[in-house]
A and B are shown apart, each in its own frame.
Chain A
Amino acid sequence: MAQQPMQEPQSNTLKLILAWGFVGIPLAWGIVRTVTNALKLFR
């Protein structure tokens, strides 16, 4: 089958920001909390 190019219209940018923010923000929060605790190892 011929290649179907997938363009990325403007609406995709908003969807991408929302989708990545939805998973990225909680993950970043968890990582920051873990790093803060881990720093106690070197104090």
Chain B
Amino acid sequence: MSFLDRDRTIAKPGFSRWLIPPAALCVHLCIGQAYAFSVFNLPMTKLLGIAQSAPDDWALTDLGWIFSLAIFFLGASAALLGRWVEEGGPRRAMFTAALCWSGGFLIAAVGVYLHNIWIVYFGYGIVGGFGLGLGYISPVSTLIKWFPDRPGMATGMAIMGFGGGAFIASPLSVWLMQQFSTPTHVGVAETFLALGAIYFCFMMVGAAIVRVPPAGWKPEGYVAPAQPKKLVTTRDVYVYDALKTPQFWLIWAILCLNVTAGIGVLGQASAMSQEMFPGRVTVVAASGFVGLMSLFNMGGRFFWASMSDLLGRRNTYFIFFALGTLLYAAVPSTGAIGSVVLFVIAYGVIFSMYGGGFATVPAYLKDMFGTRYVGAIHGLLLTAWSMAGIFGPTLVNYIRAYNVAHGVEKAQAYNVTMYVMAVLLVVGFICNYFVSAVHGRYHMKLRQAEEAA
């Protein structure tokens, strides 16, 4: 389909670059639904029993694999297909992401209808996971090319959408299930079908709007710095050559450590707030706390990525790791003095930096490896996220269980966890310290760069 070709997406004179962030948000707001998948967990354990789980109904442990598979295939597809995304252009990638994401919902709906969990795993977990990965990286390099003056802000806006997608998906899914449910039917399959159709339309709007800038285009009035900054390259590194550089693996470790620390306590936030403040934070208040942390997570993506344009990427990560270490170490004290407000503030800043870590990393990669393959290199880097998704929750659950088994009170059981997370951030600080400019031998030769362009 020529409509999808990269050549057909080259912007004509007069096109406003400010149309690109909403195009990216059309995709990221949809795939951000993944963070809200848990709203289906309870209804999917009652598909047969309706009012309560029947013996043949799915268990929560079976359902947990759906989200895990989706996140695993997000990382895998971003790593495997990053180069295809980069060379095929953003519209082809967004269209394919829309097909996979909505197709995943349709297949999962069939799985729910037939009550076959393997079809749901295949649909949402694998096909949908590919949609997640392709959708996540599809607008990154396009945004960076349109906003050479503010690459952090531009990618921060899109990746903020991934954090914000759950805010829409969660109430929308609950409302749809209410509409489709009857006394003898839960309505999950129909909700999946409706979400698949809605998300396909929404993502296609993004694919229709998106454009790439003409070769050599610069924003009006923009003059590239005469003296390039030490850690910002004007040359490009080929996607697979980036893997040979220490910088790629240092940034991989930086992202992995930052996400491990955040994701580890993200899943425990509700229980932690109730157990650290017993009797003061109720179940309802705890769910409000989790919602508030999601807001900080989303806002931090835009705030910190934008700030990184002023502070520099390396300095921004220094702030994440230094301030993060202090705050993680301070959280047990907020519990000890019984201050819910300080606890919420500390967590708010922590989660803003967790989101900020995701949103600032594309611009960090652009600074290190140039713009040509930044989307593909970002795709490879997302394997750090998959790894952190396993490390973080496992570490937190293990430490907490160990403490409780050794007689530590529940309210204090999280203290060691917080100190371990603080140590992880110190390691991240050290990795960030060692990031330097990529050696010239990895830069693409001028002829190679022209061929690639």
Is the CB–CB distance between A23 and B14 below 8 Å? no
State the interface size on chain A (CB cutoff 8 A): 31
B278 at the interface (CB under 8 A from A): no
> Once the chains are docked, how many angstroms separate the CA of A16 from the CA of B19?
6
In B204-253, the 8 Å CB interface with A consists of 205, 209, 214-220
Is the CB–CB distance between B168 and A19 below 8 Å? no
Interface bits A28-43 vs B (CB < 8 Å: 1, else 0): 0111011101111101
User: Which residues on B sit within 8 Å (CB–CB) of A24?
Assistant: 22
B29 at the interface (CB under 8 A from A): yes
Interface bits B9-31 vs A (CB < 8 Å: 1, else 0): 00101111111001101100100
> Once the chains are docked, how many angstroms separate the CA of A43 from the CA of B29?
30
> Once the chains are docked, how many angstroms separate the CA of A27 from the CA of B13?
30
Is the CB–CB distance between B205 and A26 below 8 Å? no
The total of Cβ contacts below 8 Å across the A-B interface reads: 100
State the interface size on chain B (CB cutoff 8 A): 42
User: Which residues on A sit within 8 Å (CB–CB) of B161?
Assistant: 23, 27
Cross-chain contact of B284 among A29, A31, A35, A40 (Cβ < 8 A):
A40
> Once the chains are docked, how many angstroms separate the CA of A27 from the CA of B32?
11
Q: Which residue of A lies closest to B36 (CB)?
A: A30
> Once the chains are docked, how many angstroms separate the CA of A22 from the CA of B31?
16
Determine how close the nearest CB of chain A comes to the CB of B115; give it in whole angstroms: 31
Interface bits B279-306 vs A (CB < 8 Å: 1, else 0): 0010011111101101100000000000
Is the CB–CB distance between A37 and B288 below 8 Å? yes
Determine how close the nearest CB of chain B comes to the CB of A3; give it in whole angstroms: 5
User: Which residues on B sit within 8 Å (CB–CB) of A29?
Assistant: 168
With most chain B CB atoms within 10 A of its CB, the pick from A15, A16, A22, A29 is A22
User: Which residues on A sit within 8 Å (CB–CB) of B17?
Assistant: 6
Determine how close the nearest CB of chain A comes to the CB of B202; give it in whole angstroms: 8
Determine how close the nearest CB of chain B comes to the CB of A25; give it in whole angstroms: 10
Closest 4 CB pairs of A and B: A1-B216, A30-B167, A19-B22, A38-B292
Binding site for A on B (CB under 8 A): 11, 13-19, 22-23, 25-26, 29, 161, 164, 166-168, 170-171, 205, 209, 214-220, 281, 284-289, 291-292, 294-295, 340, 344
Query: Given A27-B164, A31-B164, A31-B295, 19 other A-B contacts at CB below 8 A?
Result: A4-B217, A6-B14, A6-B16, A6-B217, A6-B220, A12-B16, A19-B22, A19-B23, A22-B22, A23-B29, A24-B22, A26-B168, A27-B167, A29-B168, A34-B291, A37-B291, A38-B288, A41-B286, A41-B344
